[in-house]
Homo-oligomer: A and B are copies of this chain.
């Protein structure tokens, strides 16, 4: 095994199955016009051959119209107009990027309108609402994907390959971490990510802890059977949530444990490491956009470090979404997949409160 050649022999878009020039593009309505959509999603789609932004939806109709004009989209409309089916001829699919607790009605409407949906993660603020979302889509002609960007991150996909090809042996343990200084990035203690009514049960596990959670599931191709957790919140801005900081362990059965930490009040840092019976693989940095990933693979006494040119995570995600629609393929992260995370997240908060292992 020439490990270096193996790692260099990467086809970044090993998932592509469609010919977007022939079948595309997928025309999108974007719902929610916060900084992520403006700075990440719209520019990503502007570069894409697979999709184009045709409709913008916002509570602020004037803002939606102005931005639609600016980016040469067909139309900007209000949320009410969206729910009323305005401009449905202009788009094929919907991207929902609003605060977590407001995803459900937009997805329900998309299902009613027969539009496919790419919904930001976490898919909603509670398991109950997430289940209603899956039910709404399940009873319709629409399809739902949840926006887990790591599924199209080349370095992470290479870890999947390493495990699939047996190069790490059997997985034994996963370490995952994600932290950022939220209040330095968005200096507003009243932001929605710190408001349980909008964000869900907490601040750190819900918003960023789900990166190591979901990516551990993705690379192991397995779902947790139980969780343990500890969490603490001390800072004034975190008074309404239990988890300024959290540590949680996912039990994947067969003695495979993923042990993770997350904090919205720490230096920006992220990593994912898999330790197997035959070797280890570490992605660091792992989760934040706009960083070149480094993958370190160790087998026996040899370590090979590979730096991956950073892809535009949102472009990869939109293109993957569109590619699955155009080629009529299943999404890696559909509603049922994302529901497992929602149940794990609620279990993590329960475990953090009780100190007890919670079965899933």
Chain A residues with CB under 8 Å of chain B are 168-169, 172-173, 175, 177, 179, 181, 226, 228-234, 244-247, 249, 251, 254-257, 259-261, 263, 265-267, 269, 271, 273, 275-280, 298-299, 355-357
Contacts and interface: CB of A to CB of B under 8 A. Distances in A.
A217 to B, nearest CB: 16
Contacts of A271: 175, 273
Contact of A275 (B172, B230, B244, B266): B266
A2 to B, nearest CB: 19
Given A249-B247, A356-B355, A263 B173 contact: yes
Contacts of A259: 175, 247, 249, 259-261
A275 B179 contact: yes
Contact of A177 (B168, B173, B256, B356): B173
Nearest to A169: B267
Contact of A249 (B179, B181, B228, B233): B228
A298 B269 contact: yes
Contacts of A357: 230, 355-356
A288 to B, nearest CB: 11
A173 B232 CA distance: 12
A263 B298 CA distance: 17
A269 B301 CA distance: 10
Given A234-B254, A254-B234, A267-B275, A177 B179 contact: no
Contacts of A279: 267
Contact of A230 (B233, B251, B261, B280): B251
- The residue in A168, A226, A269, A271 that gathers the most chain B C-beta atoms within 10 A of its C-beta is A269
